[in-house]
Amino acid sequence: MDFTPLWDWFRWLHGATGIKLTIFYDSFDRWRFFNGFLTSVRLQAICLVLSVAVGVVGAWLQGARARPLRWAVQGYIQIFRNTPPLVQLYFFYFALGYYLSVEGEAGLRTALIGNFTWAVICLSLYAGAFNVEIFRAGIEAVPKETVEAAEALGYSRLRAYVFIVLPLAFRISLPALNNNLVNLVKTTTISYAIAVPEMLYVANQIWSDEVNVPEMMNVLLVIYVSLVGVVVYAMNKWERALRVPGYVS
Amino acid sequence: MRRGVPNRAELPVLLPFRLAAPAERPPAFAPSLSWGLALAAVFALSVGAAEAQSGAGQPAILATIWKWAPLLAQGFALNIAISFLAMAIGTALGAPLGLCQISLLPPVRAGSWFVTQFFRNSPWLVLLFYCMLLLPFEVSVAGHIVPIPGWLKSTIGLSLPVMANVSELVRGAVRSIPYGQWEAADALAFSRRQILWMIILPQCVKRMTPPWMNLYAILTVATPLTSVVGVSEAMTLTRDALASEARSELLVPMYSLLLVAFFVYCYPISRATAALEKRFAVK
C-alpha cells in the first residue's frame, strides 16, 4: 500500500496550521516512532503474560503446606506492593545490574542483562505481586465443597488446582485482573527511566529534535488511551467467552 | 484451606456463631511485621557486603549513608508533601466530577465520563510530562509574576489521575447503594439533592474510605516518578548522592534504604486499609 498521499496531507497540515506531526511525513521520525510503538507493545505483551503466570504460580504456592514457602510469597507480595515501582526498577537495573555485569577490555563493564529484559523482569514481578492477591481472592471464593468433591474423586492438590479451582477462580478474578493489567500497560512507561527505547522515550527524542512538544504529548496520550482501550475490550470479550452459564460466584 | 466462616449455607440450622471482631487479626500481624524486618535485614546485609567490598582507607558504608541521611530525609519529606497535596487536589476535583457522572443531564454525564476515562487510562508518567512541559513556568497575577516551581507542576500532574480515580470511586459508591434507599427517600418526599446529601453520600463515605486510602498508597509510590521530570525528591537525591560518592558498592545499600523508607511509610497504610475493609465488609 502506498501511504504517500496521507504523509503529504500531514505535511500540508503542518504548512497550513502549524501542527507539526513529523512522525507522519518525516521518514526517519516515522521509522523511530513506529519502532518505539512496537517496543512498547512487545514490552506490554510479554509483561502481561509473565505477570499472569507469576500470579497463578504465586497463588498456588500460597496454598502450600510448607509455612516458609507461604511466608516467602507473602513477603514478596508485600515488598513489591508497598514500594515504588520506579525505585524497584532502579534497584534492579543499577544496583543488581552492576553485579550482573562483566568487566571487558578498557575497564568498560558490559551488562549481562539488557535494560529491556530488566524492565520485563521488574514490571512482571511488580504486576505479578498484585495478581497473586487477585487470584488468591478468586480461589477463596471457590466453594469448599467443590474442592472437597474433587478430593473425593481422587484429585491430587495440584491437579485439583489446575483442573477445578483455577478455572473457576480465574473467572471470578477476571474483573480485578482486568484492572491490574490496564495498570500494567500504563506502568510500562516507567521503563523510560532506564532508557528502554519505548514510545515515551522515542517521543522525548522526537520532541527534543523537532520542538513539537504539544503535538507529541497529545499523540502519546491518544495512543495510550487506545492501547488501554484495546486491552479492556479484549478482556471484556474474554470475560464473556469464559462465562459459565448459570454459575454465579 | 483457610477460609472465612462458611455462611454460604442456605439452611437455617446451626448457623455459625461469629464474634464481632475477627479472631485472626493478631496472628496476621506477626508475620506481616517480619516482612519489614526482612527488608531491613536485606538492607543490613547489603551494608555488610558493601563494607567487605570497599577498599582500605575509604570511609565506612554506614558513615557515608549517615552523612547523606538528612538530605535524603528532606527529599522523602518532599515526596510525602507532594502526595498529600496531590491527594487533596485530586479529591477536591474528583468528588464533584464523580457527582457529575451521575447527573441527570446527559451532556454533563457524558462529558464527565469522558474526562474520567481519559485521565484514568493515560499513564501517570505521560501526564506528568504533559503538565511539566505544557504548563507555564510562571503566571502573572494582577501584575505580579508568580513562578510555578517544578514540584508544584508535577503535583498537578499527579493529581489528574487521582482526580479521575476519585471520580470513579464516587460513582461506584453511589451505584453500590441499594436502589431501595432512593425509592424510600423519594416516598418520604425528599428532593433529589436532599436524598444525595442526606442519605446516599453519608453511606458512600464509609464505603469509599478503604479504596480511597488504597489510592493514596498508590499515589505515594508513584511520587518518585517526579524524579524523571527533574524534581529533587528522594529518588533524585539518592541518585545525586550516588553520583557524587562514585562508589559502586554503595548502590545496593542506598537503593534498598529508599525501598525501606517507602515500605515503612506505605505498609501501615495498606494494613489499615485491609483492616477497614474487613470491618466494613457486608456479608
Residue at grid coordinates 451521575: B102
Q: What is A156-200 written as a DSSP string?
A: -HHHHIIIIIHHHHHHHHHHHHHHHHHHHHHHGGGGGGGT---HH
Q: Do A83 and B262 touch (CB under 8 A)?
A: yes
Q: What percent of chain B shows pLDDT beyond 90?
A: 34
Supply the pLDDT for residue A154.
92
Whether the CA torsion B171, B174, B177, B179 is positive or negative: it is negative
Closest CA to A49 of A139, A171, A131, A160: A131
Q: Do A225 and B31 touch (CB under 8 A)?
A: no
**B31, A71 contact by CB (below 8 A):** yes
Distance from the Cα of A143 to chain B's closest Cα (Å) equals 9
Report the topology of domain A38-207+231-242. MetI-like fold (1.10.3720)
Q: pLDDT at residue B111 above 90?
A: yes
Whether A49 and chain B come into contact, CB under 8 Å, resolves to no
Three-state DSSP class for B140?
strand
Supply the pLDDT for residue B54.
67
**A235, A178 contact by CB (below 8 A):** yes
- How far apart (Å, rounded) are the C-alpha atoms in residues B236 and B243? 10
**Domains in chain B, please, with CATH?**
64-177+213-278 (1.10.3720.10)
Residue A13, number of CB atoms within 10 A of its CB: 15
Residue A72: its chain B contacts at CB < 8 A?
none
Nearest CA in chain B to A192: B228
Whether A40 and chain B come into contact, CB under 8 Å, resolves to no
At CA A102, angle to CA A96 and CA A103, rounded to 5?
A: 125
Residue at grid coordinates 492438590: A157
Distance from the Cα of A2 to chain B's closest Cα (Å) equals 32
Residues of chain A with pLDDT under 50: 249
Report ipTM for this prediction. 0.83
Note the helical H segments in A63-165. 67-81, 85-90, 97-99, 115-141, 144-152, 157-160
Supply the pLDDT for residue A28.
86
Q: Do B121 and A200 touch (CB under 8 A)?
A: no
- How far apart (Å, rounded) are the C-alpha atoms in residues A98 and B53? 13
Q: Do A83 and B3 touch (CB under 8 A)?
A: no
Three-state DSSP class for B102?
coil
**A201, A36 contact by CB (below 8 A):** yes
Average pLDDT over residues B229-256: 87
Nearest CA in chain A to B258: A87
- How far apart (Å, rounded) are the C-alpha atoms in residues B262 and A183? 20
pLDDT greater at residue A161 or residue B35? A161
Nearest CA in chain A to B36: A79
Give B78-93 pLDDT, tens digit per residue.
999 999 999 999 999 9
- How far apart (Å, rounded) are the C-alpha atoms in residues A50 and B120? 24
Whether A67 and chain B come into contact, CB under 8 Å, resolves to no
Give B160-212 pLDDT, tens digit per residue.
999 999 999 999 899 888 889 999 999 999 999 899 999 999 888 888 888 89
DSSP 8-state code for residue B198: I
Note the helical H segments in chain B. 25-53, 61-101, 106-121, 124-134, 150-176, 179-187, 192-194, 201-222, 234-245, 251-280
Whether A147 and chain B come into contact, CB under 8 Å, resolves to yes
Average pLDDT over residues B253-268: 90
Residue at grid coordinates 437455617: B12
Residue B87's contacts (CB-CB under 8 Å, 6 or more residues apart) are: B159, B162, B215, B216, B219
- How far apart (Å, rounded) are the C-alpha atoms in residues B195 and B191? 6
Residue A220: its chain B contacts at CB < 8 A?
126
Residue A190: its chain B contacts at CB < 8 A?
125, 225, 228
Q: Do B122 and A190 touch (CB under 8 A)?
A: no
Q: Between A and B, how many CB-CB pairs are < 8 A? A: 126
Whether A194 and chain B come into contact, CB under 8 Å, resolves to no
Supply the pLDDT for residue A119.
93
Residue B187, number of CB atoms within 10 A of its CB: 8
Chain A interface disruption, residue of B129, B236, B262, most A CBs within 10 A: B129
> Which phi and psi (to 5°) does residue A110 adopt?
-110, 130
Task: Report CA A53 to chain centroid distance, whole Å.
Answer: 12
Distance from the Cα of B5 to chain A's closest Cα (Å) equals 11
Whether A143 and chain B come into contact, CB under 8 Å, resolves to yes
- How far apart (Å, rounded) are the C-alpha atoms in residues B94 and B87? 10
Note the helical H segments in B12-60. 25-53
Q: pLDDT at residue B110 above 90?
A: yes
Q: Which residues pair with A42 in a beta bridge?
A: none
Q: pLDDT at residue B67 above 80?
A: yes
Residue A204: its chain B contacts at CB < 8 A?
129
Distance from the Cα of B253 to chain A's closest Cα (Å) equals 9
Distance from the Cα of B203 to chain A's closest Cα (Å) equals 24
Supply the pLDDT for residue B282.
60
Closest CB to A79: pick one of B39, B252, B255.
B39
Residue A75's contacts (CB-CB under 8 Å, 6 or more residues apart) are: B34, B35, B38
Three-state DSSP class for B138?
strand
Supply the pLDDT for residue B19.
46
Whether A83 and chain B come into contact, CB under 8 Å, resolves to yes
Nearest CA in chain B to A141: B3
Give A65-87 pLDDT, tens digit per residue.
888 888 889 889 988 989 999 99
> Which band of pLDDT confidence, cut at 50, 70 and 90, is reported for residue B2?
very low
**Domain extent listing, chain A:** 38-207+231-242
Q: Do B222 and A84 touch (CB under 8 A)?
A: yes
pLDDT greater at residue B97 or residue A143? B97
Average pLDDT along chain B? 82
pLDDT greater at residue B58 or residue B161? B161
At CA A87, angle to CA B147 and CA B256, rounded to 5?
A: 125
Q: Do A224 and B123 touch (CB under 8 A)?
A: yes
**B16, B6 contact by CB (below 8 A):** yes
